Amino acid sequence: MSQKTMYPAPRLTNQDIKRFYKHYNQGEDHACWNWKGYLRNGYGEFKIQRITYPASRIAWLINNGSLPNDKLVLHKCDNTQCVNPFHLWIGTHKDNMRDKKLKGRARVNVGINHPLAKLNDGYVIDIRYLYKTKRYSQNELAKMYDISRSGIEMALNHNWKHIEP
């Protein structure tokens, strides 16, 4: 989905705003105000004139007035159901990915954690040792470990960087 046209701003009526307030309980400024309406993938959603918007985006609009179409509403609290405007900030997808990584929420798909991994750390250590002896080609190692040649190349160079050479 293109960031430039991701969520054009809706025209909020007083009725929309009143209806929005019914979907969460406002608490103290430091507390999360969890969305009690419809959720998709853990994120609150709110429908206005047949268009579904992220609830956090509507919360931002109600409390701050405007938001560029190419910006996202991000959560300081990392609670995807939160609509507390004190917990929200605007940024880009890149900002969101940076925040996710800094907070340790980024999934690292390397080594055995990669969904297509056919090797484990021990096999990679063995493959690297055998290859360094220059007695085995990548094709021979692939046959020995019953994986593709590109799998051997990955073990030697790419997806297993966390293992010391």
Taking the mean position of all CA atoms in its chain, how far away is CA 73?
Answer: 14
**Prediction pTM value:** 0.64
* Domain-located, residue 6: no
DSSP 3-state helix, strand, coil percentages of the chain (rounded to 5)?
A: 40, 15, 50
Predicted confidence (pLDDT) per residue in 103-129, tens digit: 887 766 777 777 778 899 999 999 999
Domain that holds residue 70: 14-102
CA–CA separation, 115 and 99 (whole Å):
24
| E strand intervals along 7-164 | 39-40, 43-48, 51-54, 72-75, 88-91
pLDDT tens for residues 78-106?
999 999 999 999 999 999 999 988 888 77
Q: Tell me whether residue 1 is in a domain.
A: no
Q: Are residues 89 and 124 in the same domain?
A: no
Q: Write the CATH number for 47.
A: 3.90.75
